[in-house]
Every structure is written in C-alpha cells, then in structure tokens.
Amino acid sequence: MASFEHNNSFLLPILFFTVVLTVSFSLSTAATRDTITPTQPLADNETLVSAGGTFALGFFTPNNSVDRRRYIGIWYNNNRSPWASSLQTIVWVANRANPVIGSTGQLSVTANGTVTITNRETSTVVWSSLGLTLTNPVVQLLDTGNFVVKEEEGYNNSPKKYAWQSFDYPTDTLLPGMKLGSVNGLDRNLTAWKSEDDPSPGDYYVAMNAYNSPEMYLFDRSSKKMWRSGPWDGRQLGTILNIGAFSYTFVNNDNEVSFSLQVRYQTILRVGQSGVLQMLAWLPENEEWVLFWQIPADLCDNIGQCGSNSICDITLSPICRCLQGFTPKNPANWEGGDYNDGCVRTVAFDCRSEGADTFLSLNGVKLPESSDTTTLTTDQCRSECLKKCSCTAYALISGGGGGCVIWVSHLLDVVQLSGDRPDLSMQLDAGQDLYIRNGSADTGALAWNILHTKIGLIGSAASKICWAYRSSSCTR
C-alpha cells in the first residue's frame, strides 16, 4: 500500500464556546524538574514541568470529587481556566482505572525502566508501564506533552529511541504530534472519561478503521457506530478538512494508518463523556479555550440517519431522500418520517451487457461507509465497476497516483455537504464526488424526477446534484 501524507490550509471561523474538562489540584511544593530516575521518584506533593514550561505532570484529584482519589495526569501548565485559578485541563491519565487513595502515592521508575505508581502506605502497585530491560533509565516529560522512558546515556530525543511513551496510550485527548490509529500493530484510540470526577474509561471512544478505505469512527460502549469522518481519498479524511494553522497529517501504508494534528497552538481533540468530539484551542490573550469544530453537529452526522441507499441533507425538509434509481422500502414509514428501512433499487443492473448501465454523479457529498469497499489503482474506474455485477458506486482517489474506491453493496450514510450547512459554511472544498450506478438511464431519471416532484424538492436544492443526466458532470 502506498504512503500518503497531507497538509493543507484553511481557517474555520472561531466559535467562542468551551466545554473543557477541568480538575482541581493540591498546591505543589516541588522544585521544577522534568525527569524521574530510579533514585529520584515523584511524591504526591511534587510536579514535573517540561523544559519549555508547556506541560506539567503530577498527582491530581478530579473536579467535584468528594473522596481522596489521586491520579497521575498531564496538563497544560500555562493555560488556567478563566473561571478559577485552581482549575487545569487534563490531557492524559496514567492510572485512570486504579487511583491511589490518599496522599501517599509515588511515581517511580525501576532499575530496568518500568514506570510504576505505588501507594506507599500499603506498598501496593496500582499501575505500571510495560516491563523493560534498560541499563540507566530516565523518565522525562517533554514539551510536546509526551512522557517517555529512555536510556540516560547514548540516546537522543528521537521517538524511535523511546523504550516506552505515553503517546502510545492516549486517554480521551489527542495532542499535536500524538497519533490516532494503528501504528506498527498498536492501536491508539481515544476513550472518554466516565464522568467529570472519574477518569476511568467511559461510554464513548474514537478509533480509526485501518482496513479497506480508512476512516475515523466514534463508537458507543456497545461498539455501535455513532459517527464517522468519511473515508480517506488521498487528499482529505472525509469531512475533516485541514483548517489553516490547525492542519493534520494522515499516513496510510502497510505499517501505519494514523491521523495526527500538526499545529502551532495549544490544541486538543477530545471525546467527552456525552459522546461529543471537539477540537479546541487555547487563546492566551483571552485566557480561554475556543471551539473550532464539534461532532455531531446536526442529525446528518448520525450514521444511517436516513437508512441505506439514501442521502441526508440538513438544509432540506425533510432531510432524507432516496438516491437516484431507488425508492423507499417502506413508503408509509418514509412519509411518516421513519427512514430506518432506507431505500431499494427500482431497476436491476444489466450485468450481461457492459455498456448498458449508467452512472449519476453526486457532487459535494460525504462518501458512503467504507466497510464493503475495494481500492483499485487503475484510472479505469467506470469500466472496472461495470465488470462487477455487485459494484454499486465508485469514487476517485485524488492523491497518491490516482485510482478509485469501489462499493460492492448498499450505500450507507451519504451526506450532502456542499451548500449552506451551518457547520461547513466556510469550507469551500467540502465534500467529494460519488458516481452511483443505475440500471437504466431513462427509467432511473424518471423515477428520480417523480420522487422529487412528490416531496417538493425540484428547484434550487435539486441543483446541488446532477439532475436527471442533464448536467455535463454525468458520465455514461
């Protein structure tokens, strides 16, 4: 598999809104340092501060907690909340499921490099990193927010030299430079806190699908898919566009499928306890976090909102309609606003004659879910699709030498992005093009026309798509 990396620039409008996780801390009496050694552990009343002063690490008690639970966490050191000087933003927690009770906790590194959190009162180890075989280990908090284990001598600061690093084990927050996805067989996911005063794993998590056409998913506790970004097309990760200084890198090769923020500001991508995914940045001049985008933003962000073989458009009423060549599977439910059954094909494919079927181009959409897809390197996508009777649609890959993605089953979660969507109003490059296979151009166009006349969508809204093969964007 080829390797792709992508950086682009476009700035979303800043929305002054913040729902940031905050926690209260005990006063620290420790002298400033950024390392732990086997002879210099970290006590409950001490704090590590990275060399540049950006991040701090130490024991904390979550906000609103009524007991004496103590956790090791990392937080931005210089961005106190505007509400109270004692509030901080936690970005990583070590012992999130196993707190120390009371103020007798200690963070240590053994002689072979294993990091441990111990309750000194009971001599109980409540958390430890992987067992290592180092000679002169040192544990250091870097100015990136990464907490690393390495040899004290003979090693530089290259991440490849770290024996262990916190960036490999995210909690609920993605920091710039931290990777979300699969890296050398290790899955890096984000998992929400259980509640504001309990950092143990909660009900929602974000993960990268590393198979077929990669895309980012938001899941609930039962692993039900709640939201997805849309597949990587060689240029962008579905609906996640690079936003000016807040750009990202996507890597897609045999050893790694990952998403990482590449930004110059204090920025976090965080999944909250309610299942909301947010990107926030700290503005020091205003001493506040600002929200750059939030998912889900509307009903069309919910996977399968309109059922299969349909398209969701939040600017229309109703927001669901069947794709060209399809009709509601359950017309009565559809008319009543229940779209769960989706749509079914009105005209079968003519698989005996390669040139009989046609394609309709939908422009500016979130591509369908990529669970049942095949990626091809050829530029003959239309003919390759026609060779497979199971092929229902294809989309071009815009980077990495071309090619296409072919769908071989029903089309789920197609969303119209171009137009006046409030959350995408400034994203001029929103959406991709999808070519949907139809059994008969004339019959399909007639069915499409009748359906849209019935639900009153003929007019300006219909101009968003290739209307009944009258547009030059249609292909045959």
Going residue by residue through the chain (476 aa), what tens digit of pLDDT does each one get?
444 444 443 333 333 233 333 333 333 334 589 999 999 999 999 999 999 999 999 999 987 677 789 999 999 987 654 333 445 789 999 999 999 998 899 999 999 999 999 999 888 999 999 877 888 999 999 999 999 999 986 555 555 578 999 999 999 999 999 999 999 889 999 999 999 889 999 999 999 987 778 999 999 989 999 999 998 877 788 888 766 667 889 998 889 999 999 877 788 899 999 999 998 888 878 778 888 888 999 999 999 999 999 999 999 999 999 998 899 999 999 999 999 999 999 888 887 766 678 888 999 899 999 888 888 888 788 888 888 888 999 998 876 567 888 999 899 999 998 665 555 433 445 688 999 998 754 344 434 433 443 343 333 333 333 322 223 333 33
Q: What is the DSSP string of 129-165?
A: ------SSEEEEE-TTS-EEEEESSS--S-GGG-SEE
Q: Closest Cα partner for 107 from 38, 50, 153, 53?
A: 38
Tokens standing for residue 223: 């692993």
Q: How far apart (Å, rounded) are the C-alpha atoms in residues 118 and 29?
A: 20
CATH 2.90.10.10 spans which residues of the chain? 22-171
Sequence-ordered alpha helix ranges (H) in 66-135:
none
Residue type, 205: Y
Measured CA distances, 18 to 49, 190, 278, 292, 294 (Å):
25, 19, 9, 10, 11
Backbone phi and psi for residue 387, each to the nearest 5 degrees, phi listed first? -70, -20
Fold of 1-17+172-296: Agglutinin, subunit A (2.90.10)
Comparing CA positions, the residue from 408, 471, 473 lying closest to residue 437 is: 408
Question: Does the CA dihedral 383-387-389-393 come out positive or negative?
Answer: negative
The listed CATH number (2.90.10.10, 3.40.50.300, 3.40.50.720, 3.90.550.10) that belongs to domain 22-171: 2.90.10.10
- How crowded is residue 90: how many other Cβ atoms within 10 Å of its Cβ? 24
- In one-letter notation, the amino acid at residue 453 is T
Radius of gyration, alpha carbons of the chain = 26
